[in-house]
Structure 1
Amino acid sequence: MPFSKSQDLIRLARLAAVRRTGISLDEIRDEFGISHRTAQRMTEALEAVFDNVEAVTGTDRRRRWRVLDPVLEKLQLRQETAVEALDIASRTARGDGRLRHAAALDDLRGGLLARLTPKDARRTEADVEAVLLGMGSVARPGPRVNLVPAVVDAVIEALRGPFRLRMRYGTMDAPERVVEPHGFLLGHRSYLVARQPERSDEMRTFRMDRILSAQSLDESFSFAPGFSLEDYTAKSFGVYQNPKQYDEVIWRFAPHAAARAAEFSFHPRQTAESQEDGSLIVRFHAAGWLEMAWHLYSWGDAVEVVAPAGLRNFIENHRRTDFDSLP
């Protein structure tokens, strides 16, 4: 067996050992970027090389492979990539104010390093630090809103229940309100998605930086039937939603900007159509004209709003002709 294939087989055995329900052919295919038939050959090799492999058919009628009582834990594979990923995730969580997540990630990182010899641990940490110093994404350049860690912790605890959340929003003299959290949207400005039963069953978004205090209550509730955070967020261009603005959005990018615009995903459910004159039409359904306007401004006069009319009128007098470059 070639050396690279041996490495892949060891990696597959570790995946089959650490995943509680084992690993399926589809997951092997996705994990290794291989064909279905190659994935089958890998499972055949797994069963041929290791005696403690169990293949079971789950309730979804998919066959999954597990390694029982793995001795692979004694094989210390290189951990640089895993430690890098944990470091990046920890720094991101800390920057978002999610201190409990940062602490958990740091514990995992420490556990990986503890399993290495002191020499290998020092080498790994040095390699990881070199990579992180060269990654601008870790520094997260650009403006962002600072969140209160105690508020973030309370929101996460409420989502875990799910429990109702008592919070003071806006100003310190504002009355406290009790909401039912349904989601936490992270971004340059983060939002809590929740309904406030005393007002209505409608979902609302609350800016996390304007939640001044929060407490997870010992009061459980049921999520709104059929609610999907993915579907909810798809209704907006950015984060904020105004149901009255929800409509089909059509943007036409000029021929000189079409190739650049084609590299963007403006909305997860967009469609793009190249035109005979070289321009590009992008369509999607969403609300949030202000956030659209902020982005459209950066394109100068290289983009035209075809629809809706309200958005077109909103930005028409703010299109610039003197921008030297595209986003």
Structure 2
Amino acid sequence: MKQLTSLAILLLSITLFAQDDSDGLEKKFSFEGSVDAYYRANLTAPNDENQIAPETSFADTAGFSLGMGNIIASYEKGRVGAVADLVFGPRGEAASATVLNQLFAFYNISENTKFTLGKFNTFLGYEVIAPAGNFNYSTSYLFSNGPFSHTGIKADFTLSDDFSLMLGVFNQTDVTEFNPDGSYAVGAQLGYSGQFLNLLYDDAGLGFEVDYTGGFDASDEFFIGVNAAYADNDGEGFYGVDLYPQFSLSDDFTVGLRGEYFQTQSESIDDDPSVFSVTLTGSYVIDEDLIVKPEFRLDSGSEDIFIDTDLMATKSLGSFVVAAIYKF
């Protein structure tokens, strides 16, 4: 109840402020968000108290389950503005730990330079926290092992019609409420025509990660997304690659595949385990705002990291999810 009261006060304050146009500056107020829920069942493993799921974030409980509610209020006045992005539900709690998914202010110094201060979702990776921003409903190993959010300051530069650059200084990765020990991380992103090379160095947290995110249109109906990453923290880390081919069968229905190879690495383990995962997702849009996503997923490990219906160790796990996402 306290969180709902705070939310109501915040939204009312932003709305009243947006209505005040006494200084004559142009003001822009927007309010959007999404809600989602899903049903999940293992096809090759138990769905009772022994039920398991891939070691990835979200969509990991059996039966009918809640995702999250996402409410985003943004306000811009002249060259400055702010964004309050609030999340509720299991997915939001797992990703953000608090109701504040993002909370930041920004200043457009010029048409080509923008400064942002506060908490914002990470710039690394192909996938995002809010399911409305992803094609697949379940998430990848690369997304689940990379950073979720940063708190700090960043500068975005538009260098040309094709090139962009971001530089930032943050708290430790995913330490977003305050800085507990005085350590910091630095990050950079170089963009070219929709392709992004991302760098993050966080000696006290994640370590070093380099990430490529991009994609291209093979045709008007066929798109291929790409994500590859390598992370190392004193000999502990991971690397992997994801491919996201997606084909539009009509204006309302698209089918897509996520193929992923993910490898952990550790100096203390001679043979680091790896996982190959294939996720087939359909996306059906109803009246522009409701999206229904049926999804089949097969995870195959290099070792016996799953169990089968007889509770015996096995290398693979098949599962099914159907999700409903409503955007407003």
TM-score over 0.5 for the alignment? no
Higher gyration radius (CA): 1
Instruction: Kindly indicate which of the two structures has a greater share of residues assigned to helix.
Output: 1
TM-score (norm 1): 0.28
Higher RCO (C-alpha 8 Å, min separation 6)? 2
